[in-house]
Chains A and B, each alone.
Chain A
Amino acid sequence: MLILECPYCGVKAEETEFHAGGEAHIKRFGPGSSDADFEGYLFNRENPKGVHFERWRHANGCGKWFHVVRCTMTLEVFGSYSAQVSEPPQEIRDAITAKRPGWCWRDFA
């Protein structure tokens, strides 16, 4: 079971207080984009064994969306951060590096 911390209300609770919202930092391709970009936006997802970025919602709490980085293999959580950013902040990257040196996920490292 995951223990997540909501960055908005500071509540630390197990995952049943939250709701998973799928992969994080997906760039939207809408009308006017190429078929390949649109297909990628709709269907192509990471499936890593290790570091993974996700969106979660504090569904049974303050209701806010936020980002979580965790390890899909060990369920270790590296940190959570605001939903209002398009890439992870430096302290989150540093926290991952401390545990998983050399990690990379899409364009992030």
Chain B
Amino acid sequence: MSEPQSALTGTTCDGIAKIREVGLQGMITLRGDLSATEIASAIADATGCALPALREITHEGRNSVSWMSPDEVMVFVPYDEAEATAAKLESALTQVHALVVNVSDARAMFELEGPNAREVLGKLCPVDLSPDSFGQGIIRRTRLAQVPAAFWMTSDASFRVVCFRSVAQYVFDTLKIAAQPGSEVGLYTQANG
């Protein structure tokens, strides 16, 4: 048996924010008609999370479920539970048109932490990251420099960022440049007064 490895095996970097590749993380793509009650109850049974509304992410313990598109959500569970959770979702959804795929090994996840974390992402993404516009509970899929990515906040000063595994090194390097020491812009701290 080969040993599962995350894209960057937990690489870290310190700058105006702390960057850390989170390591192995279970991720399951679920597509279907999100208004079907079967989907909401399958998600609740498998994860304890509520079905997220438009552009929202819900959490329960170590599990999360994020809205990805009008017919898609992403289910986050611990890596070693992903296969079982996907199987559980799949068996709960045999009567509705739905797709469940364990994509854990096809994605990478980063943590971005510190008072300047908003700024680091703000340099790379066309998103208003001021505290008035972006806070916990929101998921945003967007462009991070030259690649697609998604992120949400896990506290007032930390983000989780998800991207395709094939661009994990690029995302890490790009975040590292955006977080290099001395590169504070102070945009959001100014806005806060």
Report how many residues on chain A are interfacial, defined by Cβ distance under 8 Å: 14
Within 8 A of B (CB), among A61-77: 61-64
CB of A13 closer than 8 Å to a CB of B: yes
CB of B171 closer than 8 Å to a CB of A: no
Given known contacts A13-B126, A17-B126, A60 and B54 CB-to-CB distance under 8 angstroms: no
Q: Complex: how many Å from CA A76 to CA B127?
A: 20
Are B69 and A62 in touch, CB under 8 angstroms? yes
Interface bracket on B: 10 to 19
Closest to A9 in B: B55
Closest to B55 in A: A9
Contact partners of A63 in chain B: CB under 8 A = 69
1/0 per residue, CB under 8 A from A, across B54-71: the answer is: 110000000000001110
Are A13 and B69 in touch, CB under 8 angstroms? no
Contact partners of B72 in chain A: CB under 8 A = 62
CB of A14 closer than 8 Å to a CB of B: yes
Are B143 and A11 in touch, CB under 8 angstroms? no
B residues in contact (CB < 8 Å) with A: 54-55, 68-70, 72, 126-127, 140-143, 148
